[in-house]
Structure 1
Amino acid sequence: MTQDDSIQKEDSRASGELFLVLDLGVDILQAGLATYNKQDEKAAILKYEQDLTPQDSFQKDFCFDEQKIFSTLIALISKLDAGLKNKVSHCFLAAPASYLAGRVFNFNFQRQDPQTAIDLRELENVFIKTTFQIKDKIKEDIKQRISGVSIHLVDGHLLNLKIDGYPVSNPEDLTGQQIAGQIFYIYTTEDCWQHWQKLIELLHCREVFLMPRFWSLLQTLPVDRGIIIDVGYQQTEISLKRQNLLVGQSSFNIGSVSFDYVLTEALGIGLSEAREIKSRYLAYSLSNQAQNRFTEIFKPVRQSWLQGVVVALQGLSPNAILPEKIFITGSDDSPIDLIGDLKNVLLTEKLSFLDKNRLTIESLGARVATQDKEQDASQNKGQKVVLSSLCQIALSFFKNTSPIARILKKSIKLAH
């Protein structure tokens, strides 16, 4: 680093607002120190650290080992800057949907007096009624998987707002018969929320924003419509975006560890050794004979994963046309080199794409790395795709001065 580079970095930290971006992956934990510069309205990651997630930290749905995860995470934050305590204003954290879930819900209210101008108090009442209704819906849905749980609403994001069918950014002083829109609610169980509360206390930030990983990725998808396939540790999450809105989300229980397990069974080895072999396989650093052998070993789980994607896409859009742009991401960035196989399968399956001739599947990490021009080239390899997404979400938060987000947050607190 040159002296000029050092001065530029110090200046950016002095004139900007420091915040944290944290990615709690099931296999990798990442922590980034970022800054928001109010003058040029830009946010950038200054530095980041990562470590393997302690083994067996994430367990069943809404249940994880907080001591293992949080101690590793706090250690990473300390590496970023030993003097960070009480200097970081905000934190933006993404975690797997099994521990921070999220769904889009519609709301629709008929006004008693359509000639009266709408004010923020009326909008607040709409949000409060909606939030209580949605909390009951979420509880009923989760009961089908987990019995005897209480739901904690974590946060909410207003996706769109309409008055009599017309989109508006702020309904104040407008008149109309109907107030409608969509809200993305983030939620977890009350037991799981106790874990998150402990982390919030450890971070010493003014505000901490928690969200599912798929939501953070969707916010920076480089197109207004597309599909994200996030290959996690134990499961794969698929999100569908149209007109810059999340319109569907699904998952199935095959992830990167599924490929590790087939190696442990076939070779009689442990998980750590299996991961090492898989990494060498992905890097094509094995002999041709070994590459071919492991390709055959991976074949059954590869086929199961491909079929899982097809079934999920069919369920997400049974009667509608799918966007032709697909982005894949995960701990390995291009897990088990699935991109080529996936395209061949999707072209032969009975799925309706907007234009099959233009069907593209690419690494989301590589795309973010290409766009993220301000980052150091040595870091710019797509490995911190979620951190980059969180940085963009933070930028939107710092620039947003609308009172509507504050009103929605207040309604969620009242529903606790």
Structure 2
Amino acid sequence: MGFSFFYKKKERPFLVLDVGTEAVKVLACRKENNKTVILGAATQYFERYGVFNGQDFAAEIIKKAILKAIAGAEQDFIIYSERAKMPALVTLPPDVLRAEIIEQTFRQKDSKKKIARKEEKIILEQVFKGAQEGISQTFFKKFGILPKDINWISFNILNIKVDGYSVRWVQGYNGRELKFKILVIFSPKYYFESAQKILESLKLRVSKIIHLTEVLPVVFGEKISDGIFIDVGGRISQIFLIKNEELMQFRELEKGGEIFTQKLSETLGIDIESARIFKEKYASKQLSPESEQRIREIFLKEKRTWYESLDIFSSPIFLFGGASLLPEIRETPGESKVFYPKDLSNIEDTTNKINVPQYTPSLLIAQFYGKEILRHNSSSR
């Protein structure tokens, strides 16, 4: 899937639909010159946990949450009548929309012959096929999912080397060994098709299904060329290593804010929703010092589990996502900083709602799309 259409002059508004493991975030945006203007924003939590666990893809619960989030954004900006016309950028939960970085090597028989355009196409087809096979084998061993049950979404070349020298493309070069670093976005077919049906039923004009690995180097690279970025989600956190504006590594950590919510629920004997609200008040310093101290004691084991699972020894570390405000996560060892929406440049928030790092991933996607609009309009002049 690619960006299906762009607009010049005054851009048509677009939607960002960020579906996580716990909640749905919706932004209604417009690109105005170099700024991304936020016209509407809303968050809606799922009515129950685990809607994406195993084979339990609770379509009606997910659809209901998306509709409520869109309705919340509509209170700021009337988008209902325009919804079918507006491009929508969609990201799905990390266990539904997957990303892997894989390296592939292609060896030429004639190292002195320059690579023509037709040969480049054949080479890329072979390395992409090799990437598919490598990921399929790993995925089958880990989850038991067959290659035929994987939906391949995109292949993005991060780096190419010809006999050890970095190049932007292979056409016109000669050499023996061609090395490719490839970012592959894919999804288990069952989950992906279920998500597609939900989006179609909502009459959303999906412009692109997008993963944060595609977004971060483009948006952050200009401002922060090196660092570790952690999107602290509900059940799954995503860790990105960027060096010299290039995505070097990516991995998922099957831990996030949910372990703290569950601990509060079990210890205090309250339901999950009440525990989540209590946790958020603790994270935003709305509790008394005595209550804060009590929760810190409750979270001691979970804090240690988080640190040990993280296994990061370099810095700087930039944290964002719904659970990044928890002291137990903010105090991640090393030079760590919570990345707020206000830390992003060229954002105009007309709603005064997006002041928490829970919205940072959605804003990154909005800015990425804005950059694509500018790039497309510049190249078409």
What is the TM-score normalised by the length of structure 1? 0.76
Residues 1:210 and 2:185 are matched in the alignment: no
Q: Which residue of 2 aligns with 1:46?
A: 39
Residues 1:134 and 2:131 are matched in the alignment: yes
- Number of matched residues? 360
1:329 alignment partner AA: F
Specify the SS of the correspondent of 2:349: coil
Residues 1:392 and 2:367 are matched in the alignment: yes
Q: Which residue of 1 aligns with 2:141?
A: 144
Q: 1:50 to 1:287 in 2, by over 3 A?
A: closer
How far did 1:300 drift?
1.3
2:93 alignment partner AA: P
1:198 alignment partner AA: K
Specify the SS of the correspondent of 1:384: helix
1:363 alignment partner AA: V
Specify the SS of the correspondent of 2:52: coil
Residues of 2 paired with 1:106 and 1:264: CA distance?
Answer: 43
Residues 1:28 and 2:23 are matched in the alignment: yes
Q: 1:13 to 1:396 in 2, by over 3 A?
A: closer
How far did 1:210 drift?
2.0
Q: Which residue of 2 aligns with 1:348?
A: none
Contact 2:263 2:298 in 1 (8 A): yes
1:371 alignment partner AA: L
Residues of 1 paired with 2:345 and 2:43: CA distance?
Answer: 19
Q: Which residue of 2 aligns with 1:300?
A: 301
How far did 1:185 drift?
0.3
Residues of 1 paired with 2:124 and 2:282: CA distance?
Answer: 51
Q: 1:24 to 1:148 in 2, by over 3 A?
A: closer
1:82 alignment partner AA: Y
Q: Which residue of 1 aligns with 2:57?
A: 64
Q: Could you tell me which of 66, 89, 106 is aligned with 1:73?
A: 66
Residues of 2 paired with 1:263 and 1:85: CA distance?
Answer: 39
Give the RMSD, CA atoms, in angstroms: 3.0
How far did 1:173 drift?
4.1
How far did 1:331 drift?
0.8
Specify the SS of the correspondent of 2:168: coil
What pairs up with 1:360-379 in 2 under 5 angstroms?
360-364=335-339, 366=340, 368-376=341-349, 378-379=352-353
Contact 1:117 1:172 in 2 (8 A): yes
Residues of 2 paired with 1:274 and 1:288: CA distance?
Answer: 18
Residues of 2 paired with 1:24 and 1:255: CA distance?
Answer: 15
Which deviates more from structure 2 when the two are superposed, residues 279-288 or residues 112-121? 112-121
How far did 1:125 drift?
1.6
How far did 1:187 drift?
0.8
Determine what percentage of the aligned residue pairs are the same residue. 19
Contact 1:13 1:35 in 2 (8 A): no
Specify the SS of the correspondent of 2:96: coil
Q: Which runs of 5+ in 1 are unaligned?
A: 1-11, 315-321, 344-358, 402-416
Residues 1:84 and 2:75 are matched in the alignment: no
Greater per-residue helix proportion: 1
Residues of 1 paired with 2:164 and 2:301: CA distance?
Answer: 49
Residues of 2 paired with 1:127 and 1:75: CA distance?
Answer: 43
Q: Which runs of 5+ in 2 are unaligned?
A: 1-6, 377-381
Q: Which residue of 2 aligns with 1:335?
A: 326
Residues of 2 paired with 1:103 and 1:62: CA distance?
Answer: 22
Contact 2:18 2:25 in 1 (8 A): yes
Residues of 2 paired with 1:63 and 1:129: CA distance?
Answer: 36
Which deviates more from structure 2 when the two are superposed, residues 132-141 or residues 64-73? 64-73
Residues of 2 paired with 1:63 and 1:396: CA distance?
Answer: 37
